[in-house]
Amino acid sequence: MKEENRNEDINHMDKRYHSKNPFVKYIHTKRLEIIKELVGDNKGRLLECGCGEGHLLEELRGDKYGIDLSPSLIRAKDRNQDAEILKGDITNLPFDDGFFDIVVCTETLEHIPNYKKAASEIKRVTKGGGKIIISVPNERNWTIARLAMLRFPIHIEDHVNSFTPLMLIELFGKARKAIYIPFNSFSLSLTQIYEFEKEV
């Protein structure tokens, strides 16, 4: 892999949060802001599945853990000296059942072929009554938006899944909260965020 490509992998999301396109920047920073509000003043254990470069984890409260397989993990470790950052697979989480009070998985499930196993693992490591926060892109609308902005490719190659609210409810149960960005409607959204409660 060329050095410039390696740096692109490591700094992928950083480029989104500091995008020169104000619309792209807004979508991604607003997602982080909403998830931070959903986590709130957490004092328990928190896991971010697919923590990437660690931008979100840096903003969250609690006894923090992060897990990812990408080269960007080095950035997450730099940003989160107070967290335990692990290299690992979300479909086989190295934690005991019910270990976490909150599990966050943002903009990750669309990359995982065996997303049902990933969802099962997320539920397994969340304690009964604990909080699960999931965000995924609305692939249809992002494709339309990229086409309108003449951004190519119009479909992200490693986005192998596309989720509807019903699919996520089938995976995690009835959502306590559903938030859509930039407009509060799934049909108009680019990003969808859900808060679920693990059954006791």
Q: What pLDDT shows up at residue 9?
A: 61
Superfamily of domain 3-197: Vaccinia Virus protein VP39 (3.40.50.150)
CB atoms within 10 A of CB 49: 27
Query: Which pLDDT score is estimated for 10?
Result: 74
Tell me the C-alpha distance between 142 and 155, whole Å: 8
Record the pTM. Answer: 0.91
Tell me which residues of the chain have a pLDDT lower than 70: 1-9, 155
Residue 52, strand partner residues: none
Q: Is 87 helix (H, G, I), strand (E, B) or coil?
A: strand
pLDDT at 7: 42
Q: What is the pLDDT of residue 200?
A: 85
pLDDT computed for residue 93 by the predictor: 98
Domain boundaries, the chain: 3-197
CB contact set of 26 (below 8 Å; sequence gap of 6+) = 182
With CA atoms as reference, report the closest residue to 63 among 37, 76, 44, 77: 44
pLDDT of residue 79: 95
| Res 49: pLDDT | 98
- 8 Å CB contact between 107 and 50: yes
